[in-house]
Amino acid sequence: MFYGQFEHALDAKDRVIIPSKFREIFKETYAEKFFITRGLDRCLFVFTEEEWKSQERKFKDMSFTKEDSRKFNRLYFSGACEVLCDKQGRILIPIYLKSYAEIKENVVIIGVSDRIEIWAKEKWDQFFKDNLGSFEQLAEKLIEPNQS
């Protein structure tokens, strides 16, 4: 669904433009409302409303009697907010999420299948540099060979 990497800058009102390629997908799937929250590795996750509801169902099933489940759900859902694209295709990044992701001005927006991630450019560059060398090893560990 969402694929690719794009660089943008926040405007003076902390809005970032969603790449036109992603906005086309929004139109095709009639997505109007989005949810943005704290992601892993200090990035932000952006979900369509449909995918957000799927995430909610999955995490709602986690036992609240387990400490790790409570902690995760508190951090994940307390950081969430609903956003809409304006006519120029921009979304507002709340200050607390901007702070969490250490976003100053420049961002990298990447498509990761069912979600969009927004990274501070410096953080993405470092993540990419640190992890590109292990791409083949990760594939070997995670992707099962076709058993025909």
Q: What is the pLDDT of residues 32-87, one digit of tens each?
A: 889 999 999 999 999 999 999 999 998 888 888 889 989 999 999 999 999 999 99
Report residue 68 as tokens. Answer: 């790790």
Q: Are 4 and 118 in contact (CB under 8 A)?
A: no
Task: Please classify residue 34 by burial: count the beta carbons closer than 10 Å to its beta carbon, then call 0-12 exposed, 13-18 middle and 19+ buried.
Answer: buried
* pLDDT tens, residue by residue, 4-31: 999 999 999 999 999 999 988 888 877 7
Rg (CA), the chain: 16
Class of the domain covering 2-142: alpha beta
Query: What CA–CA distance (Å, rounded) separates 56 from 45?
Result: 14
Give the per-residue pLDDT at 121. 98
The DSSP annotation for 23-84 comes to HHHHHHTT--EEEEEE-GGG-EEEEEHHHHHHHHHHHHTS-TTSHHHHHHHHHHHHT-EEEE
Task: Please classify residue 93 by burial: count the beta carbons closer than 10 Å to its beta carbon, then call 0-12 exposed, 13-18 middle and 19+ buried.
Answer: buried
Band the pLDDT of 147: cuts 50, 70, 90.
Answer: low
Band the pLDDT of 114: cuts 50, 70, 90.
Answer: very high
148 has pLDDT over 60? no
Task: Please classify residue 87 by burial: count the beta carbons closer than 10 Å to its beta carbon, then call 0-12 exposed, 13-18 middle and 19+ buried.
Answer: exposed
Nearest-5° Cα angle at 93, 90 to 99? 150
Q: Which residue has the tokens 């100053």?
A: 104
Give the per-residue pLDDT at 115. 95
Mean pLDDT of 99-120: 97
